[in-house]
Amino acid sequence: MKKKFLKITASIASVIIILSGCNSSNENIPAYSDLSDNISKTNYSEMKIETQNQMEGNLTVKAENAVNANVSGKVLETPFSLHGALRVDGTNLIDKNGEKFQLYGMSTHGIAWFPQYINIETFRTLRDDWNTNCIRIAMYTDEYGGYCSGGDKEALKNMIKNGVQYAGELGMYVIIDWHVLNDRDPNIHKEDAKVFFNEISSIYKDYDNIIYEICNEPNSSATWEGIKNYANEIIPIIRANDSNAVIIVGTPTWSQDINLASDSPLQYDNLMYSLHFYAATHTQWLRDRLTTCINKGLPVFITEFGMCDASGNGANNFEETAKWLELIQEYNLSYCCWNLANKNETSSVISANNGKISGWEENDLSESGKWIRKYFKDNKKY
């Protein structure tokens, strides 16, 4: 295995956020019809994100031996120190020990609207209390304040860089999510994607804890052939900088049509395909599709799921969620839950208007948050 080095800079990040009235939407159905009305209350240009890095010294460690020291000076094992660089073999992620491995954790909501959760103490709570080993950082591309639609590109990239930094310091894995949704077809902002992924993958070419998700949820008119054409331009850009990076490709119909990818897969190693489900909407028919594709050898990563319906709202269906998670465990699939935010919607795991960004207690969480936190805690594997 190629040895890489992970450079972790010990820093204190001060984030000053001026943000109010922001809103957004969720996945798997055409949404955001009310986005401009809901978010117009927020002047995105007034959102000020200042990052102050106070250098206390640089610590360079071998990626395969990354550790985290607690306040008492004891060395703690972390997910990354235990499992190191990952690769795809058949339908499984394989760790540095040659063993099957599973990533699991939370996905942020759009970082343009909920930047407060890109915070080392947030990530620490998710690792130490929720027992997760992965964080997905969702950067919307086309919605209000999105990377390709008038958002502050440098501020958004800085949040991603901070998130990668914090994940690295904590020995967690991190997914950088190019969150296609309203743009429908990833080719709409392909040129922006090329520049973004070239810059980010060149910066983090020596970081083995990063996974690239190059298009969240192609939908509507987006075809699998069009997605493949996009991927065939983006993947070589990333691989030119990091030849071993694990890359995830979204599939049509809000990342439900993995059968199309199974019938005509891309020709790259270390590649996975995303499936998204919302348990109150996507039931046995989609689980059957997943089973068929896995049995045909398709490597699938569930980069987003919710316990509610596909709008991100409605009642939770924990019975269907349990069936999904049973299947996930049966096939050793990796998975991330949507979403880490305090938005007033069912899928957000923090109670609406709760201002805490870490150390949440039971009464700080929504119904969704209480359920998924318990599941993570009861199923710790790393």
Q: Are 302 and 335 in contact (CB under 8 A)?
A: yes
pLDDT at 260 (0 to 100): 98
- Where residue 380 falls among pLDDT bands split at 50, 70, 90? confident
Burial class (CB in 10 A: 0-12, 13-18, 19+), 221: exposed
Q: Which of 217, 326, 362, 367 is catalytic?
A: 217
The H or E element containing residue 272 is strand 271-278
Three-class HEC string of 7-59: EEECCCCCECCCCCCCCCCCCCCCCCCCHHHHHCCCCHHHCCCCECCCCCCEE
Q: Which residue has the higher pLDDT, 185 or 47?
A: 185
Of 121, 237, 113, which Cα lies nearest the Cα of 179?
Answer: 113
* pLDDT at residue 382, rounded to an integer: 67
| Candidate CATH numbers 3.20.20.80, 3.90.1310.10, 3.30.1360.120, 3.40.50.700; the one for domain 5-378 | 3.20.20.80
Q: How far apart are CA 169 and CA 373, in angstroms?
A: 22
**Catalytic annotation, pick one of 304, 319, 320, 345:** 304
Give residue 261's identity as a one-letter amino acid code.
A
**Reported confidence tier of residue 75, pLDDT bands at 50, 70, 90:** low
pLDDT of residue 59: 31
User: What are the distances in angstroms from CA 99 to CA 67, 78, 83, 197?
Assistant: 20, 16, 9, 29
List, for residues 53-67, the tens digit of each pLDDT value: 332 333 333 333 343
- The verdict on whether 304 is a catalytic residue reads yes
Average pLDDT over residues 201-224: 97
Tens-digit pLDDT profile for residues 14-45? 333 333 333 333 333 333 222 322 322 233 33
The answer to whether 18 and 47 are in contact (CB under 8 A) is yes
Quick one: pLDDT band at residue 328, thresholds 50, 70, 90? very high
Per-residue model confidence (pLDDT) at position 34: 28
The residue whose two tokens read 């969704």 is 368
Q: 236-270, pLDDT tens digit by residue?
A: 999 999 999 999 999 999 999 999 999 999 999 99
pLDDT band per the 50, 70, 90 thresholds, residue 51:
very low
Question: Using 50, 70 and 90 to split pLDDT, how confident is the model at 1?
Answer: very low
Averaged pLDDT of the chain: 85
User: How far apart are alpha carbons 118 and 109 in whole angstroms?
Assistant: 10
The whole model's pTM is what?
0.84
Delimit the domains of the chain by residue range: 5-378
| Residue 25, token pair as written in the block | 């939407």
Least confident of 18-32, 203-217, 285-299, 335-349: 18-32
**For 171-183, what is the mean pLDDT?**
97
